[in-house]
Amino acid sequence: MVEAKELYDKKEKCPICEKEFTTKKTRSSKLRLIKRDEDFFNHYSGENPIKYGVSVCPNCGYAALENKFHSITKEQGEIIKNNITTKWNKRSYGDARSLDDAIETYKLALLIGNLLNYKKLEIGTICLSIGWLYRLKEDRTEETRFLTLARDQFKEAYYNESLEGSNMDEGKLSYLAGEISRRLGDKEEALNWLKLSLSSPSTKQNPALDSMAREQWRITKEL
Ligand SMILES: [Zn+2]
């Protein structure tokens, strides 16, 4: 297979077993964005960077989103060793990934996120990414399953978690819960969440989000 020019090797060191490995990343200068869905999923004409969002240690099976990979405590490391490494069939995700490979890496990150009690927002974000990968794969049943999981985690995060230190704010989170509900065909739920987003101060300060929320509310209302 000819190596896609968007990809390069990045060296990683596993924080749990301390073995080094390489994982592919995409060069942002080589990416060609062709479309953005209303739930913020970006489509590219070549490689999609989402496929390389999860780093997986080929030696011990530890996996996490890149920005989360190194923030792990000793106790959490023990949980991984006892629950993941003991069952791990050594394999590498260090080459170009198929959609199925990418889905496996996110499912592993999801399993680990649940073991380590990640925040609902983080679990929801992983579920949304899996839903998007199934969208690329054109598997509507699985896309729907993971979008539902994402929406439900986002709803819980909205009511029960602080969003501080995340790249999410109230307006964007309620917008996502609304837009995902719209995609799932839950009209009332979609309208409620989009209305909540439109009344949020953070949406009022974000004209692009405000106009998306208005448009998606209008589309949903007309259904
Ligand atoms: Zn490792």
Write the Ramachandran bin of 63: left for phi over 0, alpha for psi from -120 to 50, otherwise beta.
Answer: beta
Q: Which of 73, 92, 118 is the last residue of a domain?
A: 118
Mean pLDDT across the chain: 96
- Spell out the residues 6+ positions from residue 90 whose beta carbon is closer than 8 angstroms to its own: 58, 59
Based on the fold, state whether residues 152 and 203 are members of the same structural domain: yes
Residue 163, both tokens? 């969003």
How far is residue 134's CA from residue 46's CA, in Å, rounded to a whole number? 17
Based on the fold, state whether residues 162 and 96 are members of the same structural domain: no
Residue with tokens 């839950």: 186
Percent of the chain with pLDDT over 70: 99
- Spell out the residues 6+ positions from residue 18 whose beta carbon is closer than 8 angstroms to its own: none
Q: Please state the domain count of the chain.
A: 2
CA of 102 to the centre of ligand 1 (A): 18
Q: Which of 69, 92, 118 is the last residue of a domain?
A: 118
Residues 55-60 have a mean pLDDT of 98
CA of 203 to the centre of ligand 1 (A): 41
- ∠ CA 8-11-14, nearest 5°, is 140
Sequence length of the chain is 223
Q: How far is the CA of 168 from the CAs of 81, 172, 203, in angstroms?
A: 31, 6, 12
Q: Quick count: other Cβ atoms within 10 Å of Cβ 92?
A: 12
Phi, psi values for residue 131, rounded to 5°: -60, -45
Residues 154-160 have a mean pLDDT of 98
CA of 59 to the centre of ligand 1 (A): 5
The model's pLDDT over 89-123, given as tens digits with 9 standing for 90+, comes to 999 999 999 999 999 999 999 999 999 999 999 99
Residue 5 pLDDT? 87
Nearest to 62 by CA among 9, 11, 113: 113
Based on the fold, state whether residues 106 and 211 are members of the same structural domain: no
- pLDDT of residue 2 exceeding 70, the answer is no
Based on the fold, state whether residues 221 and 153 are members of the same structural domain: yes
Host domain of residue 90: 1-118
Percent of the chain with pLDDT over 90: 96
Based on the fold, state whether residues 4 and 106 are members of the same structural domain: yes
Bridge-based pairing of strands 33-36 and 20-26 is unpaired
Based on the fold, state whether residues 220 and 123 are members of the same structural domain: yes
Residues 23-28 have a mean pLDDT of 95
CA of 100 to the centre of ligand 1 (A): 22
Based on the fold, state whether residues 200 and 124 are members of the same structural domain: yes
Based on the fold, state whether residues 87 and 98 are members of the same structural domain: yes
Bridge-based pairing of strands 54-56 and 63-65 is antiparallel
Which range (138-142, 161-165, 178-182, 192-196) has the least confidence? 161-165
Based on the fold, state whether residues 107 and 2 are members of the same structural domain: yes
Q: At 158, which CATH number?
A: 1.25.40
Residue 61 pLDDT? 98
- pLDDT of residue 204 exceeding 60, the answer is yes
Residue 51 pLDDT? 98
Residue 3 pLDDT? 59
Residues 132-143 have a mean pLDDT of 98
Residue 223 pLDDT? 85
- pLDDT of residue 192 exceeding 60, the answer is yes
Ion ligand 1: residue ranges with CB closer than 5 A? 14, 16-17, 57, 59-60, 62
Q: Which of 80, 98, 118 is the last residue of a domain?
A: 118
- pLDDT of residue 43 exceeding 60, the answer is yes
Contact 132, 41 (CB under 8 A): yes
Based on the fold, state whether residues 34 and 96 are members of the same structural domain: yes
Query: H/E/C letters for each residue in 158-221?
Result: HHHCCCCCCCCCHHHHHHHHHHHHHHHCCHHHHHHHHHHHHCCHHHHCCHHHHHHHHHHHHHHH
Based on the fold, state whether residues 78 and 139 are members of the same structural domain: no
Residues 121-126 have a mean pLDDT of 98
Phi, psi values for residue 35, rounded to 5°: -165, 145
As beta bridge partners, residue 102 has none
CA of 62 to the centre of ligand 1 (A): 6
Based on the fold, state whether residues 22 and 52 are members of the same structural domain: yes
- pLDDT of residue 1 exceeding 70, the answer is no
